[in-house]
Amino acid sequence: MHRNKKAVAGAVKINMELKGKTIVLGVTGGIAAYWAAEIIGVLRDREASVHVLMTENATHFITPLTLQTLSKNKVITNMFEVPADLDVGHITYTQKADLILVAPATANFIGKVANGIADDMLTTTIMATKSPVFIVPAMNENMWKNNIVQKNVATLRREGYKTINPSYGKMACGGEGEGTFADIEKILKEIEEFGLFKTKNI
């Protein structure tokens, strides 16, 4: 796909922002979980280190082995089965992370974090971190527009979490609507524009 000079310049700037940084990528259980593979590729192309935390539901949509192969790091799916070199898993990942990016984020995950529920490796890590957290929702349009989901999203924003709204497009159910996974370049642009990596917030 052709890119103009402005777009290429923007990509170079993003590359400089991400180079040498550690991104913890959270993957939750929606059909958009397959985008995690491309996100890992894009981040590694920009010379970032990527560590993946998956919810159990996410493993039904894309395998941990796929994301482990792409990220070149152990993928964690169970907080009780962390590698031996991680004394307290979720604390270790909060110390590693320059940024936590949850993409995609389901309504279930959003509701848990908004209400202080930490019952898996991803949610406990987020509760313990002082690093910036970006959340990228993706779900059916009716779910996205549900008043409870919108209330939970508003709570996250009020508490300092950064959320990137889903796009309008073709849904997994066959129709079209607002709820599809946001464009990856848009995600990276919002991260870069926020200036996350000037200093590490831990």
Give every CB contact of residue 131 below 8 A, 6+ residues apart in sequence.
24, 94, 97, 98, 99, 100, 200, 201, 202
Closest CA to 139 of 200, 83, 197, 182: 182
Bridge partners, residue 76, by sequence: 53
Closest CA to 101 of 179, 180, 168, 21: 21
Long-range contacts of residues 64-70, Cβ cutoff 8 Å, at least 24 apart: 66/37, 67/27, 67/36, 67/37, 67/40, 70/37, 70/40, 70/41, 70/44
List C-alpha distances in Å: 100 to 22, 27, 125: 9, 11, 9
Task: Please indicate whether residue 173 is annotated as part of the active site.
Answer: yes
3-class SS of residue 131: coil
Selecting among 12, 148, 172, 173, the annotated active-site residue is: 173
| Cβ atoms 71, 37 nearer than 8 A | no
- The catalytic residue positions are 173
